[in-house]
Amino acid sequence: MNPDRTKSDQLTRLLAELSYRKGVFRLASGKHSDFYVDVKQTVYRAAGAALVGELICDVLAQHSIELVGGMALGAIPLVDAALNEAAHRGWPLDGFFVRKEVKEHGTGAKLDGRFNANKRIAILEDVVTTGESTLRAIDAVEQAGGRVDCVIVVVDREEDDGLGNIARRCGNVLALASKTQIRRAARDS
């Protein structure tokens, strides 16, 4: 599941330029950190969305994935980027997202979008520290009768065995960039 090195290096440089920040930040895990990677800053730039979409679809092709999704809010722009690239390639890819809480109106669905438990499914995640958010998405898919075939993470913070925690539930886990790579790219720029 290795992404194209040139595209991966381009993504790492974009993340370093647009998404990487030094300071004191509180993470979703509740921990504090001296850096933050806001992947949305990269994915909400046209070139960043295109590149992320290409890298994700390169991995999806290796696993014959038919459906991509992840936890709201972080995964939504990633799903959109993958769907746009899939359309460009002429693929019939569908997407969904997992709500943190079920709506009390409309369909009341925990999984929203085009979820189908019978399809080959990939979970997308913007940043992994502990892996808890990704594991919640996997739980929701499994509770709905689906099976996750692979997980694609944009940034591995390389902390708290996040990727390892996910790999214990889904053997195919890949990070497109790591904290070490992004810090190196930020230093070199």
Q: Is pLDDT of 1 > 60?
A: no
Q: What is the CATH number of the domain that holds 87?
A: 3.40.50.2020
Residue 56's domain spans which residues? 5-188
- By CB atoms closer than 10 A (0-12, 13-18, 19+), residue 81 is buried
Measure CA 114 to chain center: 18
Q: Is pLDDT of 147 > 70?
A: yes
Q: Is pLDDT of 109 > 90?
A: no
- Whether the pTM exceeds 0.85: the reply is yes
CA-based radius of gyration for the chain = 16
Of 177, 188, 172, nearest to 5 (Cα)? 177
Quote the pLDDT of residue 13. Answer: 96
Q: Number of folded domains in the chain?
A: 1
Instruction: List, as one string, the DSSP characters of 104-156.
Output: SSTT--SEEES--TTS-EEEEEEEESSSHHHHHHHHHHHHTT--EEEEEEEEE
Share of the chain above pLDDT 70, in %: 95
Measured from the Cβ of residue 70, the count of other Cβ atoms closer than 10 Å reads 29
Alpha carbon distances (Å) from 148 to 5, 73, 152 = 25, 19, 11
Q: What letter represents residue 19's amino acid? A: S
Quote the pLDDT of residue 106. Answer: 67
DSSP 63: T
The first and second tokens of residue 161, run together, are: 């065995």
Residues sharing a CB contact under 8 Å with residue 169, sequence separation 6 or more, in sequence order: 135, 138, 148
- The residue assigned the tokens 């890298």 is 55
